[in-house]
Structure 1
């Protein structure tokens, strides 16, 4: 007999909202840099609590330096995902 709890295919709970302190600190640091004018644009990729992902562009986005930063982030994310195997 089922206990009525919904679990993911991996066996973990589904839909659990729990703040990530590391993410919150990084976002607060970026927000302070934006408020000071140091950061004037950004591209954000988000992983949501339910495993879905989204992205957003905000402010002044463009140029080859931003593409270079995204390429570096892409490579680091690939290393992280590959290490999760």
Structure 2
């Protein structure tokens, strides 16, 4: 997604879903932060980073589920089923 904006410089780090950030991860992010203007991450990841680079502007991405309407409908049906 970021590549479509054609940034002059781009460095990426991919982490698995539900990743617990380590001190080493945060050190790498801090090193990267010294060479870039922005850090892009989701809100759910930002709260897991104990010490985000403070000199860096952070762009937050909103997460959106594919087929969100289907999931909502499915959950509503499951909740409405009364099984005792």
Same topology, TM > 0.5: no
The structure where helix makes up a greater share of residues is 1
Comparing both chains, which one has the higher relative contact order based on Cα–Cα distances under 8 Å and sequence gaps of 6 or more? 2
Which structure shows the bigger proportion of residues in strand conformation? Answer: 1
TM-score w.r.t. length of structure 2? 0.27
Tell which structure's C-alpha radius of gyration is larger.
Answer: 2
